[in-house]
Structure 1
Amino acid sequence: MGNLAGVIAVRPEEAEIVAELKAGSEEAFAWLISTYHQPIYSVIARILQNPADAPDVTQDVFIKVFRNIHSFHGHSSLRTWLYRIALHEASNRRRWWSRHCRQEVTIEAETGPSSEGQALCIKDTLVDEHSSPFDMAANEEIRAHVEAALREVPEPFRTVLVLRDIEGFAYEEIAEVLNVHLGTVKSRLMRGRAQLKARLAPFAEAAGRIPGGAARFSAVACPKEAS
């Protein structure tokens, strides 16, 4: 294929890329990683219970792609195939997390008596005694709240919400990635949006009480309207 780095900008035809990948081209894999690493990482980070696991899971995805590229026969797009692997790996990590989370210490755990003689929890040591976060609200803080609320949306609604409203997948693509009916995708999306909106409602109300807060929140946090 020649110097692949020189033709990345013009997006070579997928069939040519797949052929080079199957031939073991290092340039083709470099192109694949540079093109898909960030979006794959973003999806995984939003789906996992612990976003800190996203780098390792993302690495596992590309290792799987490297080892299994010969099993790709073009029945779906390369992008769809990649996301299917990513969701499978994220699902495996979620199951692992469910089995081990009981070993984690929650912020509700008691650490000992306070100076007033009452039980002191870990969360009590994390209280910010400074000005309210809403007094210093910025777009990145709003995104953090949205990400936290998104992780509280149960599966399978969260995955559809991430693929549609954040990654911009078409309904048909989502149905293909998840191997479900189109109607199922739309139903899950509607329920996912409703649950996310409900979880963000208290924060949205608080943001509305500061100058410019409501507009900032709407611009950053509100998902796309269903079409």
Structure 2
Amino acid sequence: MPADSAADRADLLALQQGDTAALERLVARWEQPLTAFAWRYLRNATDARELALETFVRLHEKRATLRPDTNLSAWLFTTLTNLCHNRHRWWRRHPSTSLDASAGGELIPFADAAPAPDANLEQSEALAALDAAIAGLPHDLRTTLLLHHFERLSYREIAGIVGCSERGVETRLYRARQALRAALRAGEPFASAR
């Protein structure tokens, strides 16, 4: 993950002065970390890429209003987190039907799909359970957990992104871990994502 650096501040200043190459440099530096975060949040590669790029569109639109001392990484992740949350809420309100689902709602397996070896299957099931449990966390807990464990941000950086104190970040991480533990022990993800 790129650190908030002098290069970010210089590129932000250049962008504010109309240098389109500065936006290209920022995209080159930040596109991968933002897309990775969005994918972990949404579990959909197309939407993750779309929202990461939308973050840069918003940066370009808001460039004139950003202060020179803006913590760019915090601004980018805050914007992306809000976009991801909005997309997730939209999905909940507008559920879609999988093309792989039958009329009864169960998935139709491919006829020629080969079964995975037992060890891989067990690991896949464990990862799927963890993914489902993370997806079921409330927005604030999920965002904090993803930023800390996958993006490797410090409590201070996360606090700036999610808008709480460092102690609040610590509390959210504790609650997220407790909720994951409970969900995994029960063998079921949360009843509904909040």
Larger Cα-atom Rg: 1
- Show the 5 A alignment for 1:56-67: 56-67=50-61
Taking structure 1 as the reference length, the TM-score comes to 0.66
What secondary structure sits across from 1:156 in the alignment? helix
Q: Hey, what does 1:105 align to over in structure 2?
A: 97
Structure 1 gaps of 5+ residues are 1-10, 112-119, 204-227
Q: Hey, what does 1:182 align to over in structure 2?
A: 166
Change (3 A) 1:198 1:59: same
Structure 2 gaps of 5+ residues are 188-194
What secondary structure sits across from 1:82 in the alignment? helix
CA distance in 1, matches of 2:16, 2:122: 46
Change (3 A) 1:142 1:165: farther
Q: Hey, what does 2:48 align to over in structure 1?
A: 54
Change (3 A) 1:190 1:76: farther
1:23 pairs with one of 13, 17, 23: 17
Give CA-to-partner distance per residue, 1:129-160, whole Å, 9 cap, x none.
Answer: 85455433698x48953434322223221000
- Show the 5 A alignment for 1:182-201: 182-200=166-184
CA distance in 2, matches of 1:73, 1:15: 10
CA distance in 1, matches of 2:25, 2:35: 16
Contact residue 102 and residue 108 of structure 2 kept, 8 A: no
Change (3 A) 1:87 1:78: same
CA distance in 2, matches of 1:17, 1:138: 47
CA distance in 1, matches of 2:83, 2:161: 13
CA distance in 1, matches of 2:16, 2:37: 25
What secondary structure sits across from 2:18 in the alignment? coil
2:106 pairs with one of 104, 122, 130: 122
Q: Hey, what does 1:115 align to over in structure 2?
A: none
User: How many residues in Structure 1 have an aligned counterpart in Structure 2?
Assistant: 182
Q: Hey, what does 2:192 align to over in structure 1?
A: none
Q: Hey, what does 1:73 align to over in structure 2?
A: 67
Q: Hey, what does 1:166 align to over in structure 2?
A: 150
